Amino acid sequence: MQMAKSASKLAVVGMTLALAACSTPQQRAERAQAEMADLMTIYGPACSRLGYAPNSDQWRQCVLQLSTREELRQVPSYYGGYGSRYWRGGYWGPYW
């Protein structure tokens, strides 16, 4: 009986969180536009200094590439923070 109550409470909490995470397509579009505006203000001047005309297709591509590069730098590497130069073959040694 106690287990059924806790399971039902967990289900209610789960459904509440799932419904709170829902958003309309308009809200998602507004969020995407705001994110792109932020990227343009952050990376736009660098792309302009690189010689791209502001608000051109190449300039927008440069903004996206710079933001993607920054995001990838923030992701931890496969080697668990030590980097590939410290990986020498693991437990069996480098020549296994």
**Around Cβ 67, how many Cβ atoms within 10 Å?**
17
For 6-44, what is each residue's pLDDT tens digit? 666 777 777 766 665 677 888 889 998 999 899 899 999
Closest among 21, 58, 65, 24 to 42, alpha carbons compared: 65
Measured CA distances, 88 to 6, 20, 81 (Å): 49, 47, 14
| pTM: predicted TM-score of the whole model, two decimal places | 0.54
For 48-80, what is each residue's pLDDT tens digit? 999 999 999 999 999 999 999 888 887 766 555
